[in-house]
A and B are shown apart, each in its own frame.
Chain A
Amino acid sequence: MTNEQKVSFEEAMNKLEQIVDKLEEGDVPLEEAIAFYKEGMELSKLCHNKLKSVEEQLTQIITEDGSKQNFAIEEEE
């Protein structure tokens, strides 16, 4: 799982889908199938982690001078 930082969620999902398709087709040699399965489980875990690690992301606003500031919704009165 060293490549966790490099793979985007989208890539990981697509890869996972491809692996599932391949495994379901069933004509993969067993050793490869096991390798695919391992990779698939890792990808699945990776995706899961990415989705779960909800360190509440930031909402920022670009100010007049072009810098970013945290943004909070102003409740309308």
Chain B
Amino acid sequence: MVQIFKDTHIDFIKLRRITLPAVLILVLASLALFFIRPHRFGVDFVGGSLVQVRIFGPKAPVSTEQMRATLEQLGAGGASIQKFGESNEFLIRTEKVQSYGGEKFSDAVLGALRQEFNCDSASLAKDPKSAQADSVVKRMDTTIAPRMGRELQGKALLAVIIGLFGILIYVTFRFDFRFGTCGVGALVCDVLITLGIFAALGREISIPVVAAFLTIIGYDINDKIVVSDRIREDVRKFRKDGFADIVNRALNETLSRTFLTGFSVLMVLLCLIFLGAAAIQDFALTMAIGLLVGTFSSILVLPQLVTEWEKRMPSRTRRI
């Protein structure tokens, strides 16, 4: 029998003096970060134009600065430029939907890039193998009116809030109000911290990222329920022991499950991060961050919150 955690006796509850203030600080830092450096929303949300190009040929590699200079000549200096790794692939985005000399943004950008980076006929004749006549290839091109964006934005947020409220009611009904409040509170903290880390990394919020957040919330809920379930069971089983001891026991009992499940999911996510395409990478990275934050909070924040509550307001009946 392969086993990773054998009969552990870690005092998780004692750690609350460190973990609870730490979470508070992280949440505040995340909130502060939202104001200092607001999230960048993808075109799905703010609207705008986006074009992804790949540059081949002898003028490659092209640096972000060269790209910026070309775009400035076009009058699109404000566009954001993102380069994908070492491949000469660029994501160029503008939030302004305007016409550039009568052309759409993507056509204008493509035209300008072709003028700049297409190889001339001389080098084409010299080395026809490596040089392609058309060295700038459009990979993707998107235009979205911002009106749709605002609607999507509001809807996604409202969906999450209503979802959380539903969970609060369910957990209150199945466990008690204390677990419901602490669970949803920990969940909100997890999401905020994940958003904070996301903001610190300077990533952009797109539909796949929103999907990742929804996935994390789903996973996180399950994680917290599993831990709460064990505490509920042990409280019934070991009526004589102190609350903190019971919670500690429950956490140690579920530790191997917490690790195994988290590790399995993380393994898949790492595969997606290292092998997946750009859109999937964003998704997997967000999920991996959320997974780690959520898993730690399930054993380091939620039980400690519940214990704190019990200490201040002991429940006589212990109906949990």
A binds B: no
